[in-house]
Amino acid sequence: MLSILRKARLKDKEMRILMLGLDNAGKTTIVKRVMNEDISTVSPTLGFIIKTIDFQGYKLNIWDVGGQKTIRSYWKNYFEKTDALIWVVDATDRLRVDDCRVELRGLLLEERLAGASLLVFLNKTDVAGCMTEEEIKQGLELDRIMTHRWMIVPCSAVTGSNLDKGLGWVVQDARDRLFLY
């Protein structure tokens, strides 16, 4: 059965990416920047936004879901058939690192997200005094994650820095796991 699914995915070259994180982390700004859309008017996402881009020969369906505390209980409605989870962290929000770790830990326990690649976009690294990659690695206890392949990519949604690098890793990791070549 798994080989049939893999062959179907190989033919379509399509991936479903779920982008989550606490509110104000920059998820929508990242999506808009990747889509070459205007980022000067971004408002909080109160539900979800789906955008599809062609990237390195793959069709990436990116599900950007709001991160407000009142919305997080609905995240489970978006887990089905997720190939990669992009967890966006605000590198300037030191006060909510614990909340960020707890939410991520809960997600990684979800059976429907088992096996999904995990990209941690450390956003807003263009802001002076932001947290480092090592601080986030420790704060989120990423070294303790044994259930998912993961990567941290420092980035800036405003400048676009490293967004392609992160998406490139997601595509490569999913390709290594899901596709037959």
Domain ranges, ordered by start, for the chain:
1-180
pLDDT of 118: 97
pTM of structure? 0.92
pLDDT of 5: 54
Cα separation, 107 vs 129, in Å, equals 28
pLDDT of 71: 92
pLDDT of 146: 93
pLDDT of 169: 98
- Answer yes or no: is 124 a known binding residue: yes
pLDDT of 6: 45
Residues of the chain with pLDDT below 70 are 1-11, 179-181
- Answer yes or no: is 137 a known binding residue: no
Q: Give yes or no for a contact between 96 and 127, defined as CB atoms under 8 angstroms apart.
A: no
**Would you state the torsion angle of the CA atoms of residues 84, 179, 153, 42, taken in this order, to the nearest 10 degrees?**
-50
Interval 68-96: pLDDT, tens: 999 999 999 999 999 999 999 999 999 99
- Answer yes or no: is 92 a known binding residue: no
Residue 68 designated active-site: yes
Cβ neighbours for 12, distance < 8 A, ≥ 6 positions apart: 59
Cα separation, 169 vs 118, in Å, equals 10
- Answer yes or no: is 70 a known binding residue: no
